[in-house]
Amino acid sequence: MTPRNELNQRARGWLRFMWDKATTEDDWSSEGDPHPWWDKTSTAPMCAFPRFDLSETSYALPLLVDQTPAWREVYTRIADELVGRYTTFWAAIDWLTLIGPDPNQGNYPPEWQVWMPEHLRGHYDPPGWTGNGVEPWGLQPDPIAADGNLFFRGFFNLLLSTYSYVSGDDKWERPFQMTGYQNRLFDWTQHSITKFIEDQWSERPQGAHCENTKVWPYCLSAAGLSLQLYDKVFSASSHWVYDRWIDYAKQHFVTRGRGGDIESFAFYYDPLEKVAYTMPDKLAAYGTLAPLFYLYPQAPEFGQELYESGIRQLGWNQRSATFVQAIDDPRWFSLVLMLARELGDVTTENRLASIAEREYGENFFGDDPDRFAWQFGIDEPYPRGQLNGLMILSEVGDKGAWTDVYRGDYRPQFDLPTVEGVDYPILGISEAVNDADTGTLFVSSYAATNASRGQETRWRVSQLPDAASVQVYCGDSLYPDWKVLDNNRIEIDSTVDSHAFRIVWQAADGVHRSDSTATQATQQPARVSSTSRSNTTSYRPAAPPSCACC
């Protein structure tokens, strides 16, 4: 039997909460309002918009699917619902409503001032104010096809690439409509957005700006990561613009000391003011570390340098030093904890993990063990989705798992036996992986809704080479409660509980399917035409069905 690498209890609880958020009906149109559990509060003024919750909720999906590659239907549904919301008014609300310069420039709170150059404070828009319509660009009604707003289309493209990575189907490769200024509609596809980003970037080595007039390494690195994942899935070559940008950033955005060590990395660059802004003193470390979540999988050597510089300045890797957060925002803590895990910095990871357990606390929503999130010491009805979307990444996968999504070989299991028709969120799957060498599918189930434990359920395995020759085991014993549906599918009767199944799917002649399938799985999969709900602009997703296969 192969070693087990199952989703832990926190990952299962976060998946359940992601499912609830994604599949519960709400209205993101200009006439509606997102459900209050979508986080539009965290890290003001930059990220206090609900689309950041869409993006950061999605980051766990490729890590989860890499742990259960033979069970993708739940991840696909969640990703689809996130993408659908991203086409709406509320996703682009800042670009569509924050028009021209901010009339409130002289009244920002002190905690906002730190994000701006001192000599410009009082007559300068803060990060997060998009300023659609300011000169020299003028009002641009399409939030994607704009000179600015890179962070909107870059994060959207990363979400689209995540959907492709998780699902293997072509739904968002086909035309859909994006909501623009005064509810105008604009036609796009995943491919055309990628092409727009590449073409625009090819003309601007420093990168496009996000808010007018700021160019952010953070957002550019997210856009670059979207291109890298797109290239991996589609065997394309759009990422060269980011590789060139890294060389530009090393020249123009990095400050080094006499010994050659990095001292700072620009938080953002304003091409009109000709300012590459770096925060003062120890706060500079936050600017150095901020883009690494996206930058590191694309430029690991440069990313390692930036990480070591930022951690050294913060002192978070020094066991005897007092732990100090100069910026009281769990976002930065969550990012660094995930990066420490990703880079194998065990000292920093253990120190931050201990602090997180003590100060942020786990929360299985009172007596309900089905849903998990951290409260971060914030007394609110719903946990912060943006912060949790980052924090949970330290609970999924091992060292290097995040980088492997974007840099590793693309070996999806779209052509191998697949688990489907699981009655989620009643029954969950914590392990679903094929061993092509032995022709075996390993599946572990658990009660995703503890109140339904012991209830009868059933699920299917599809894409079998010869269903009649299959053998099913539960533990080490042959399992009798299953039947053949057709040549390529079986159905297994079970209960809502923890079970470990083995489905041996070797062909009738005794030849394992690995000889043909292992080769196929290393190639780009055929795109599957999705038959799920049509693309809409005013997003009102259907209420969740009683089972995921309906």
So what's the pLDDT on residue 393? Answer: 96
Phi, psi of 16 (to 5 degrees): -65, -40
- The residues, any chain, with a CB within 8 Å of residue 474's CB and separated by 6 or more, are 499, 500, 501, 502
Closest by CA position to 540, among listed 2, 165, 70, 84: 84
Pair 387, 374: CB distance under 8 Å = yes
Tell me what pLDDT residue 282 has: 84
pLDDT of residue 413: 87
Question: In degrees rounded to 5, what are phi and psi of residue 522?
Answer: -90, -5
Q: What is the pLDDT of residue 511?
A: 53
Let me know if 196 is exposed, middle or buried by CB neighbors in 10 A (0-12, 13-18, 19+). Answer: middle
Which pair of tokens denotes residue 170? 């072509």
Query: CA-to-CA distance for 261 and 56, rounded, in angstroms?
Result: 31
SS3 content of the chain, % helix, strand, coil (to 5): 40, 15, 45
Name which of 287, 286, 283, 267 is nearest 275 in CA terms: 267
Q: State phi, psi for 179 to the nearest 5 degrees.
A: -80, 130
Dihedral angle sign, alpha carbons of residues 191, 196, 202, 204 = negative
C-alpha 216: how far from chain center: 19
- Peptide bond between residue 117 and the one before it cis (omega within 30 degrees of 0): no
Mean pLDDT, consecutive 10-residue stretches, the chain (550 aa), reads 75 96 98 97 96 98 96 98 98 98 95 94 96 95 98 98 96 98 98 98 96 96 98 97 98 95 96 94 92 98 97 89 88 96 95 92 72 91 95 92 92 92 98 94 97 97 96 96 98 98 76 41 46 37 36
Residue 409's pLDDT is 82
Dihedral sign, Cα of residue 422, residue 425, residue 431, residue 432? positive
What's the pLDDT score for residue 539?
A: 38
Contact of 448 with 7, CB cutoff 8 Å: no
Q: What is the pLDDT of residue 406?
A: 97
Sign of the CA dihedral with 255 first, then 256, 257, and 262 last? positive
Residue in the block written with tokens 């253990």:
350
One-letter identity of residue 216:
W
